[in-house]
């Protein structure tokens, strides 16, 4: 296969596979947060804030994969 | 009132979607690294960062010049933001350190907020820039509007180093700038064909440049160590070199303790990478998405992505702020390791 085709394939694989983990992770986070809010609606503000912070952490891993894909497409 | 809003929205959509057909332009170039504009090593991200700093300072001076006892308008908004930040910092940081943390952390948040939101303007402002003859790729010179000196100047410039600053259309964009382009006419670059040029944008969101995010990450992590030493003296580094376990718990647990300490040290470096790439990835990917989507579909659909970018901008600034706050607080709090 030509290098161009391999680069495109690699970019696609990087982003696709890299989004699996964080996707599941964010889902689990949201589940935990929603359950906590269900048990204790008064604490919604604090739970929401902490949920956003944790989601930003897990999303960062997907962003790393995106950066790799972008580098494959536009730099190399 | 409601009819006016509906008419306004429909008109805007017509202009946006119609502008795509009236003034088709090629997709803008996507560069990972920020490019230098005419003045030496200064890149467009540095230039924009300087401008944004001036804007923030100007805003602060303007608001603090007319302070009223009962705040209204802009003063109200600014006070809301500062009060929220202050409340957060006081709730997480130790009492004696909160006043020290507040300036640097609030600055990080407000500065990053402006930087991140500037990425929304990239599809518009990214088409103003300096025109260079392109060796490979690039857009045909007919598509460049308002070229100072006309396309002939670029043929002269090919031999020398001269570049002309030229506002030009890089991507399909509706609204005000298509109006001026239509008024000025397509004739600007129609004569010379076949020559390809590339446009170095004059403005670029600072946080889409890895240099700025890396610098901020370095500042944040180094400040963590500084605050740690300030509070706990040189014993702060005992966090990373844990030799106490050998005496207290025997060689096996002591070895594990020591290894955990080393891991903490490595994780400090991982924090630098993680801080910088999280912010860079989010904002740069947002810019890429805006540019690519604007060239794929008519611009009505880009509004959804604008909403996403606004949200992401706020979230990333907030995440940088709160992570720095948490790390600063952890560094200045005495850990109860010895009191297990």
How much is the pLDDT for B283?
92
B271 and chain A: CB distance < 8 Å anywhere? no
Residues of chain B with C-beta less than 8 angstroms from the C-beta of A26: none
Q: pLDDT band for position B169 (50/70/90)?
A: very low
SS3 assignment, position B164: strand
Between B20 and B311, the more confident residue is B311
* pLDDT reported for residue B237: 86
Of residues A52, A60, A71, nearest to B278 (C-beta): A60
Q: How far is B279 from chain A (nearest CA, A)?
A: 8
Provide the 10 A C-beta neighbour count for residue B37: 21
pLDDT in the model for residue B163? 36
- Mean pLDDT on B116-123: 87
Q: Is the Cβ–Cβ distance between B265 and B240 less than 8 Å?
A: yes
- What is the distance, to the nearest Å, from the Cα of residue B59 to the centroid of all Cα atoms in its chain? 19
Structural domains in chain A, sorted by start: 3-74 (1.20.20.10)
Residues of chain B above pLDDT 90, percent: 26
Per-residue pLDDT at B213: 94
Chain-chain contact of B32 with A74 (C-beta, under 8 angstroms):
yes
DSSP state of B299: G
pLDDT tens digit string along B184-213? 323 333 334 556 777 788 888 999 999 999
Range list of β-strands (E), chain B: 128-133, 139-140, 164-167, 196-201
What is the C-alpha separation between A73 and A71, in angstroms, rounded?
A: 5
Is B322's CB within 8 Å of A66's CB? no
Poorest-confidence range of B45-49, B116-120, B144-148, B261-265?
A: B144-148
Average pLDDT along chain A, 76 residues, taken 10 residues at a time: 92 94 95 95 86 82 85 83
Give me the mean pLDDT over the B299-326 stretch. Answer: 87
**Interface A:B, Cβ pairs < 8 A:** 40
- Structure ipTM: 0.71
Assess whether pLDDT exceeds 70 at residue B143.
no
Task: pLDDT band for B302, please (50, 70, 90 cuts).
Answer: confident
In Å, the largest CA–CA distance within chain B is: 84
When the pLDDT of each residue in chain B is averaged and rounded to a whole number, the result is: 78
Q: What is the pLDDT of residue B338?
A: 40
Structure tokens at A48: 């929401």
What pLDDT does B335 receive?
62
Q: How far is B242 from chain A (nearest CA, A)?
A: 28
Q: Which two structure tokens, joined as six digits, stand for B38?
A: 């005419």
Strands B128-133 and B164-167, sheet pairing: antiparallel
**Token representation of residue B112:** 């990053």
* pLDDT for B299: 62
Query: Could you tell me which residue, B325 or A64, shows the higher pLDDT?
Result: B325
Distance from CA of A38 to the nearest CA of B (A): 24
| Tally of CA atoms within 13 A in the half-sphere of B154 that contains its CB | 25
Burial B112-128 (b: 16+ CB within 10 A, else e): bbbbbbbbbebbbbbbb
Q: Which of B10-19, B26-35, B47-56, B241-250 has the lowest mean pLDDT?
A: B26-35
Stretch (H or E) spanning B182: helix B176-184
* Alpha helices by DSSP H, chain A: 3-18, 20-39, 44-74
């Amino acid at each position: 296969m030509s290098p161009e085709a391999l680069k495109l394939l690699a970019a696609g694989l990087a982003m696709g596979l890299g989004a699996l983990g964080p996707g599941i992770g964010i889902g689990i986070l949201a589940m935990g947060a929603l359950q906590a809010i269900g048990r204790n609606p008064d604490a919604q503000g604090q739970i929401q804030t902490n949920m956003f912070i944790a989601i930003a952490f897990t999303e960062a891993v997907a962003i790393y994969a995106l950066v790799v894909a972008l580098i494959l497409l536009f730099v190399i | 009132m409601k009819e006016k809003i509906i008419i306004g929205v429909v008109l805007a959509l017509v202009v946006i979607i119609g502008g795509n057909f009236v003034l088709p332009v090629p997709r803008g170039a996507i560069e990972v690294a920020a490019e230098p504009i005419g003045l030496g090593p200064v890149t467009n991200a540095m230039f924009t960062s300087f401008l944004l700093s001036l804007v923030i300072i100007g805003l602060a001076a303007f608001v603090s010049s007319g302070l009223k006892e009962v705040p209204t308008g802009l003063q109200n908004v600014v006070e809301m933001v500062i009060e929220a930040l202050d409340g957060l910092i006081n709730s997480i940081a130790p009492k004696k350190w909160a006043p020290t943390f507040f300036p640097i952390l609030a600055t990080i948040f407000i500065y990053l907020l402006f930087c991140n939101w500037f990425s929304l303007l990239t599809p518009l402002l990214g088409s103003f820039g300096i025109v260079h003859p392109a060796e490979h790729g690039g857009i045909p010179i007919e598509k460049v509007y308002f070229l100072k000196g006309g396309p002939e100047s670029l043929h002269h410039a090919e031999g020398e180093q001269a570049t002309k600053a030229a506002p030009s259309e890089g991507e399909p964009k509706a609204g005000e700038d298509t109006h001026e382009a239509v008024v000025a006419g397509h004739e600007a670059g129609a004569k010379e064909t076949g020559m390809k040029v590339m446009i170095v944008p004059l403005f670029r969101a600072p946080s889409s440049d890895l240099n700025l995010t890396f610098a901020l990450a370095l500042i944040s992590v180094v400040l963590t160590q500084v605050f740690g030493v300030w509070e706990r003296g040189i014993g702060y580094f005992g966090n990373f070199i844990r030799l106490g376990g050998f005496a207290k718990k025997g060689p096996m647990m002591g070895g594990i303790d020591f290894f955990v300490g080393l891991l903490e040290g490595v994780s400090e470096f991982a924090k630098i990478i993680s801080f910088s790439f999280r912010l860079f990835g989010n904002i740069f990917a947002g810019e890429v998405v805006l540019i690519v989507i604007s060239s794929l579909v008519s611009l009505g659909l880009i509004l959804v992505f604008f909403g996403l970018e606004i949200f992401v901008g706020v979230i990333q600034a907030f995440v940088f702020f709160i992570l720095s706050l948490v790390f600063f607080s952890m560094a200045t709090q005495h850990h109860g390791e010895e009191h297990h």
